[in-house]
Amino acid sequence: MLRPLRPFFLIAAGLVLAWDAVSQADDGASHRAKDGAWLSLFNGKDLTGWETSLGVPSGEKEPIGRNRDPKRVFQVVQMDGESAIRISGEILGGLASLEEYGDYHLELEFKWGEKRFPPRADLPRDSGLLYHGVNGYNPGSGWLESLEFGILEGGETGDFWSVPGSHGMRVLVDVEGEDIPPAKRRYPEESIKHRPDGKKYVGTAAGILNSDDNEKPRGQWNKLDLYCLEQTSVHVVNGTVNLVLTKARRRTDGREEPLTRGRIQLQSEGAEVYFRRLRLRPIREFPAEIRQAMKEPPPNTLTEKEKADGWRLLFDGQSTKGWRGYRKKETPAGWQARDSALARADKAGDLITTDTFDNFELLMDWKISHGGNSGIFYRAAAIFEQRGIPCPRESGGHVGQEALRFKPDADVAVIKEILEAYTTAKGS
């Protein structure tokens, strides 16, 4: 969408907004749950598709590491008439998917066991669903650098923790909420409580308390739903949205990178816990009921406040109205409105808006296939198109000699306009 603050916009042909494969194996093999179909993450027989990682046992100095489980922390058992994954919690660690996932709805059920172990033998039962796991395992904990959907007995199931991996880097998020006074914090690092329309916290790695306590009493199964779309994630506990995180990213080498996919890990953290019915499916947008709970407007729409502030939609989500092919009267067939996105579905040239704009603020979401290349041209010099002279893009991506070639009988006004465009582009 755009807010006036008038140039042509060009969308370069490399832009692809279509949804891609939901998972990518470490060896590069693609796996996808097609057409929104559910993909089971647990076969009910063994831990195929997962690997174990255990940190340093209590009282010892060295980590156990990957795929070594001498105390059978991770097992497949029968519980309440069906298969479940039992995690004893005796040693810090996790059970991690071998594949990475992005843009999905994940659901599972968990139930607390009775056993607890040091150093949390006398503390509330604790576990977690880690997602967007990247980098290597933290040798001390056995956990991946990730976002945590907390599973914590006593009112904090659904909270967030930024989990450090092998490099100690911290995941950052944005969230709306309120400060928790130090005297009322369950944990000193958990300093924010989620509250929709609350104070905006930007780039925080602090623990974030969920807004609602919707966990069932111990001994009952709880259902967790996790929705991840681009950099936004939504935690749902027994049907209630209790945390919304946006702009997930990670700090690395002094910069921040978007965090939109990664591995899934089930935590071992001092308490016996059971998991069952693990599955996920790809999504292209949040379901209506989740958007409503998030207070998120449907895609390609404007709120009343946005309208009052002067915002205008450049794409209606259903058609290519307002756009045409560069140097064409119509929109090329290769550009389509698909899945609420303006997507290049086949070979096609650049797109240009039918209207012109000046003094504006432009906002948009975009997605591009791996290794793709695209761009947005603004203040595009329509003079090149209107006079039948090669545009800057056709002369190597900049205004150069080719762009200054014109017919000998071109009138002086046209020559003057071209020279002005050239000198402006050169910064003269």
Residue 75 falls within a domain, yes or no? yes
197 and 228 together in one domain: yes
Residue 31 falls within a domain, yes or no? yes
42 and 91 together in one domain: yes
Q: 245: number of CA atoms within 13 Å, CB side?
A: 35
Q: How confident is the model at residue 407 (pLDDT cuts 50, 70, 90)?
A: very low
Give pLDDT tens digits for 310-342.
888 888 888 888 888 887 888 888 888 887 788
d(CA 240, CA 290): 9
Give pLDDT tens digits for 2-18.
665 544 455 555 444 43
Q: What is the CATH number of the domain that holds 126?
A: 2.60.120.560
Nearest alpha-carbon partner for 352 in 391, 384, 315, 323 = 323
What mean pLDDT comes out for the span 347-376?
Answer: 81
243 and 274 together in one domain: yes
Give pLDDT tens digits for 246-304.
999 999 888 999 999 999 999 999 999 999 999 999 999 999 999 988 876 667 888 77
Residue 297 falls within a domain, yes or no? no
d(CA 216, CA 102): 29
Of 242 and 351, more confident:
242
Give pLDDT tens digits for 176-213.
999 999 999 999 999 999 998 889 999 999 999 999 88
Nearest alpha-carbon partner for 87 in 101, 60, 108 = 108
Give the residue numbers spanning the domain of 243.
23-283
81 and 196 together in one domain: yes
pLDDT(428) > 50: no
- Say if pTM beats, i.e. exceeds, 0.75: no
411 and 268 together in one domain: no
232 and 213 together in one domain: yes
6 and 32 together in one domain: no
Give pLDDT tens digits for 108-134.
999 999 999 998 999 999 999 999 999
Minimum mean pLDDT among 30-39, 188-197, 299-308, 419-428: which range?
A: 419-428
DSSP-derived letter for residue 67 is T
Cα 303-309-313 angle, rounded to 5 deg: 60
